[in-house]
Amino acid sequence: MARVLVVDDEEGIREFVAEALEDDGHVVVRAKDGAEASARLRAQAFDLMITDLRMPELDGMTSCARPAPSSRRWRSSS
């Protein structure tokens, strides 16, 4: 299954999405904001990142626009 990074500053939403993905057999890593997501992206590669777009400090779009050198190639769906 996929390695998924779930990023949301609202714990309830982050946990709901992460648990649903885990129940489906995916390996899920959680991040509470864009800064933590960036750190996790530098540490390991993910198949998918699901992120809130509006978060304090570093938002989801900025996190997507600056993938870490070690992460897999990111493609925008827009």
Q: How far apart are CA 67 and CA 45, in angstroms?
A: 10
Say if 4 falls within a structural domain: no
> How many domains are contained in the chain?
1
pLDDT at 51: 87
Tell whether the model's pLDDT for residue 75 goes beyond 50.
Answer: no
Greater confidence (55 vs 3) lies with: 3
| pLDDT more than 70, % of the chain | 67
Confidence of residue 35 (pLDDT cuts 50, 70, 90): confident
Helices (H) and strands (E) in the chain, counts: 3, 3
Tell whether the model's pLDDT for residue 66 goes beyond 80.
Answer: no
Say if 15 falls within a structural domain: yes
pTM: 0.75
Tell whether the model's pLDDT for residue 42 goes beyond 50.
Answer: yes
Domain range enclosing 59: 10-65
Say if 51 falls within a structural domain: yes
Say if 24 falls within a structural domain: yes
Say if 36 falls within a structural domain: yes
Say if 77 falls within a structural domain: no
Say if 5 falls within a structural domain: no
